[in-house]
Chain A
């Protein structure tokens, strides 16, 4: 039984007891992501996330890790375009420690100048590690080309030039402004005492004052009026093709239809990246038309879950000997086929069964449970996940055909080719 409480200062508190669990997971999500950044300060939300592990208030530097790890717990933080989230998963009986850490992070991070300076190279190192991967470069190019106005133009890691120039005071002001109880939601999932935990939440969070909420998003990406293309020529091993089409925001009624479209087209691997393992769905159209026919070694599709209108993305790792043009052509043909004729009952049954089975897989354990609730809360409401799963059951083949025709159009698509140049010895 899930209970939801709103504190006087606006903090939403969600308790989900799972008495049979051996652990408890505490999550705090903030409605602040890279979509709230401005040009020149890209990557700052992610950098703030790093700074919250550096102490402040009653937490000395290293305490977050020390308090968590000495009882066998784990912790981490994530920054997305739409939100930032933190968690601690602890053995049952240690929820109070996690709540204490999260309370200190919410208002008391120190942002010590020396720590800020040393973290600059860490954040840049994180970006440089990502730059080593062709998939990251392709993804970054896709979003920057598909969005000219909206801040989805950049990824959460930010541009390297901004990371080299950002200053501590700007970031600290950003933190104080947005890390407020009325801009956050707290989730406690697993084995814990509800009454005692709620008492602790009041004790730790009640005194925090609300701040002005983030300004509503005023930037709206204008409709794309023609295909956009980019080519990345870099040394590498294999070519990649990635195509994105504009789709509506998560709250839109077409979201379950787009989920089914993705399952039929490229197979389903859930919304929780960490639950994916090495699983390759093979009964989908892209696998059959590209992998089985020796044109690609890997294919995927996904309908991004975003607060603002996002992208439906398909990706193919091109097999050596095949051409990006051929792969792109086959990929687009498959989409045209879906527009002309709805998927079969068999395809729909497999897609629906997979999506609903994955609802179990991606909520495996208290950490994943807390993660999924937080991610969906930040994107539109944690209860929307169950509604989405139920709505998937009502999607018809005609619905899938209809959203393919409505959104996967030539004018709304952005195509990126990563061309692997020979590596010089």
Chain B
């Protein structure tokens, strides 16, 4: 299979990007419009709009919409995020046109029935409550709030329960009218898709999408506020530890070097150096991994570990020591060579499914990386130098700057005794 993604801009401002995957005979897609939480004036409205898109259109009630989608042998989800409203799904090739006509109908003509607004209100609130009872979510939420104080990136794009209670049907309708449009719409497709399918079936359907939309401007977040918090959840069996600090945005010159540090520190194999320490040697955690989240204008690096409440201090010390070791025993040439081989080889493995390829093509378009990005990627990785990688570890990964949040059956007063740099 040759990696040769194609890009088709449409007159209405939408862009289609696609790659044929002949081994997987159906179409997978991942798209978005600029209608995420950043565009809302009232918190929670973007979430409501996304959740109500399948609740009925001017020509089809909710039940008919579901039946129409499912009778095509298709799946379709709409999902709100900080910057965009995503949609993704799958369908047989022969049903692509009909499915994209339905998607455009949902995006263009939702009716937001009053009864559905109330039903969805309850669903969103229950979803928020379920997450508030989840240790991983609670620790991560707290960490993000400290990394991006009072900023979009630091809050749940769904809003809080109190926000959801205040949203009215009219807010949703006017949000939709102001923000749902094809300008800047991106749709990535992979699988049984080619130029002919795009030209004949998908482009004509998507071209029917009309409406107002503008790429929103996200303000640059202020500095992180270092915190150390315990969220006591005495009814749980395990505690989740989340810690992290602000790092780089996706376009920063250190992004690839820091990605390599992150891979070797907390991802490769069974969670890299961190996993070797916490899981393999100390047996403290079933999972303990790091992530680099680089967004268009900011980013952060974080660690998540699930541990027995009695081992929290030990795990925190283990994490701290492992971070320290990045500086006292920097990543070796051999480790880095393995990391480079991993990143290059993984192109063939991590993009072997339609859904994975569609998601990657979407990222390429979203970040403006260029159609040749997948071809250039190996040379980008191979050209990293030891000093760039050590420099990134030195500059960005510092335990003393990390915020720490622990959620689980740990007493709140342990906050004072918990040792952290």
Among residues of A, the one whose C-beta sits closest to the C-beta of B75 is A279
Interface check A176, CB cutoff 8 A: no
Q: How distant is B275 from chain A, measured CB to nearest CB, in Å?
A: 9
Q: Which residues of chain B come closer than 8 Å to A321, judged between CB atoms? A: 122
A125 engages B285 (CB within 8 Å): yes
Among residues of B, the one whose C-beta sits closest to the C-beta of A68 is B269
A365 engages B354 (CB within 8 Å): yes
A354 engages B70 (CB within 8 Å): yes
Q: Contacts A22-B351, A70-B341, A354-B73 given; indicate if A294 touches B62 (C-beta within 8 A).
A: no
Partner of A237, one of B75, B132, B343, B344: B132
A90 engages B234 (CB within 8 Å): no
A279 engages B77 (CB within 8 Å): yes
Bound-complex Cα distance A124 to B119 (A): 39
Interface check A72, CB cutoff 8 A: yes
Among residues of B, the one whose C-beta sits closest to the C-beta of A19 is B23
Among residues of A, the one whose C-beta sits closest to the C-beta of B116 is A292
Partner of B135, one of A124, A132, A277, A317: A132
Q: Contacts A121-B283, A283-B63, A354-B73 given; indicate if A73 touches B345 (C-beta within 8 A).
A: yes
B73 engages A356 (CB within 8 Å): yes
Q: How distant is B183 from chain A, measured CB to nearest CB, in Å?
A: 27
Q: Contacts A61-B280, A62-B269 given; indicate if A125 touches B75 (C-beta within 8 A).
A: no
8 Å CB interface, A50-70 against B: 53, 61-62, 65-66, 68-70
8 Å CB interface, B175-218 against A: 191
Q: How distant is B266 from chain A, measured CB to nearest CB, in Å?
A: 13
Interface check A40, CB cutoff 8 A: no
Among residues of A, the one whose C-beta sits closest to the C-beta of B341 is A70
Interface check B328, CB cutoff 8 A: no
Bound-complex Cα distance A165 to B280 (A): 20
Q: Contacts A53-B270, A117-B283, A125-B286 given; indicate if A353 touches B126 (C-beta within 8 A).
A: no
Interface check B162, CB cutoff 8 A: no
Interface check A23, CB cutoff 8 A: yes
A278 engages B79 (CB within 8 Å): yes
Q: Contacts A53-B270, A66-B269, A278-B77 given; indicate if A360 touches B26 (C-beta within 8 A).
A: yes
Interface check A129, CB cutoff 8 A: yes
Interface check B246, CB cutoff 8 A: no
Partner of B70, one of A21, A23, A294, A353: A353
B349 engages A283 (CB within 8 Å): no
Q: How distant is A158 from chain B, measured CB to nearest CB, in Å?
A: 14
Partner of B67, one of A70, A90, A346, A365: A346
8 Å CB interface, B260-280 against A: 268-270, 276, 279-280
Q: Which residues of chain A come closer than 8 Å to B279, judged between CB atoms? A: 122
Interface check B386, CB cutoff 8 A: no
B308 engages A124 (CB within 8 Å): yes
Partner of A72, one of B1, B341, B353: B341
Bound-complex Cα distance A243 to B347 (A): 43
Bound-complex Cα distance A20 to B71 (A): 30
A366 engages B352 (CB within 8 Å): yes
Q: Which residues of chain B come closer than 8 Å to A282, judged between CB atoms? A: 54, 62-63, 66, 70
Among residues of B, the one whose C-beta sits closest to the C-beta of A121 is B283
Q: Contacts A72-B343, A72-B344, A128-B238 given; indicate if A23 touches B349 (C-beta within 8 A).
A: yes
How many chain B residues touch the partner (CB < 8 A)? 81
Q: Which residues of chain B come closer than 8 Å to A125, judged between CB atoms? A: 238, 284-286, 306-308
B122 engages A365 (CB within 8 Å): no
Bound-complex Cα distance A190 to B352 (A): 10
Interface check A357, CB cutoff 8 A: yes
Among residues of A, the one whose C-beta sits closest to the C-beta of B118 is A294
Q: Which residues of chain B come closer than 8 Å to A238, judged between CB atoms? A: 126, 129-130
Q: How distant is B133 from chain A, measured CB to nearest CB, in Å?
A: 4
Partner of B270, one of A65, A71, A292: A65
Bound-complex Cα distance A303 to B76 (A): 23
Among residues of B, the one whose C-beta sits closest to the C-beta of A365 is B353
Bound-complex Cα distance A58 to B70 (A): 51
Partner of B235, one of A65, A118, A423: A423
Q: How distant is B9 from chain A, measured CB to nearest CB, in Å?
A: 28
Interface check B259, CB cutoff 8 A: no
A364 engages B270 (CB within 8 Å): no
Q: Which residues of chain B come closer than 8 Å to A279, judged between CB atoms? A: 75-77, 89
A22 engages B119 (CB within 8 Å): no
B26 engages A283 (CB within 8 Å): no
B126 engages A361 (CB within 8 Å): no
Q: Which residues of chain A come closer than 8 Å to B268, judged between CB atoms? A: 65, 69
Q: Which residues of chain A come closer than 8 Å to B341, judged between CB atoms? A: 70-72
Partner of A320, one of B129, B234, B351: B129
Of listed B28, B70, B270, B351, residue having the most chain A CB within 10 A: B70
B75 engages A277 (CB within 8 Å): yes
Interface check A120, CB cutoff 8 A: yes
Q: How distant is A323 from chain B, measured CB to nearest CB, in Å?
A: 14
Q: Contacts A65-B270, A279-B77 given; indicate if A22 touches B67 (C-beta within 8 A).
A: no
Q: How distant is A268 from chain B, measured CB to nearest CB, in Å?
A: 9
Q: How distant is B411 from chain A, measured CB to nearest CB, in Å?
A: 13
B126 engages A65 (CB within 8 Å): no
8 Å CB interface, A1-51 against B: 18, 20-23
Bound-complex Cα distance A61 to B347 (A): 26
8 Å CB interface, B275-304 against A: 276, 279-287
Partner of B90, one of A18, A66, A129, A361: A361
Interface check B6, CB cutoff 8 A: no
Of listed B74, B130, B132, residue having the most chain A CB within 10 A: B130
B135 engages A118 (CB within 8 Å): no
Q: Which residues of chain A come closer than 8 Å to B394, judged between CB atoms? A: none
One digit per residue, 1 when the CB lies within 8 angstroms of any chain B CB and 0 when it does not, for chain A 69-91 equals: 11111100000000000000111
B347 engages A21 (CB within 8 Å): no
8 Å CB interface, B135-175 against A: 135
Of listed B25, B270, B308, B348, residue having the most chain A CB within 10 A: B348
Q: Contacts A122-B283, A237-B129 given; indicate if A350 touches B67 (C-beta within 8 A).
A: yes
Of listed A129, A131, A294, residue having the most chain B CB within 10 A: A129
- Write 30 A-B pairs (CB below 8 A) sorted by A numbering: A18-B23, A22-B349, A61-B280, A66-B269, A66-B338, A118-B283, A120-B283, A122-B286, A125-B285, A125-B286, A129-B287, A132-B236, A132-B237, A132-B238, A237-B130, A277-B88, A278-B77, A279-B75, A279-B77, A294-B122, A319-B123, A320-B125, A321-B122, A349-B71, A353-B73, A360-B26, A364-B24, A365-B353, A366-B352, A423-B235
Closest 10 CB pairs of A and B: A72-B345, A65-B269, A357-B73, A118-B283, A72-B346, A365-B353, A282-B66, A235-B235, A131-B237, A237-B129
Which residues from chain B sit less than 8 Å from chain A, CB to CB? 1, 22-26, 28, 54, 62-63, 66-67, 70-77, 79, 88-92, 118-119, 122-123, 125-127, 129-130, 132-135, 191, 233-238, 268-270, 276, 279-287, 306-308, 311, 338, 341-356, 408
Which residues from chain A sit less than 8 Å from chain B, CB to CB? 18, 20-23, 53, 61-62, 65-66, 68-74, 89-92, 117-126, 128-129, 131-134, 190, 234-238, 267, 277-283, 287-288, 291-292, 294, 297, 317, 319-321, 346, 349-350, 353-354, 356-357, 360-361, 364-368, 423-424
Supplied contacts A121-B283, A346-B67, 7 more A-B pairs, CB within 8 Å = A23-B349, A125-B306, A128-B308, A238-B126, A287-B66, A353-B72, A360-B90
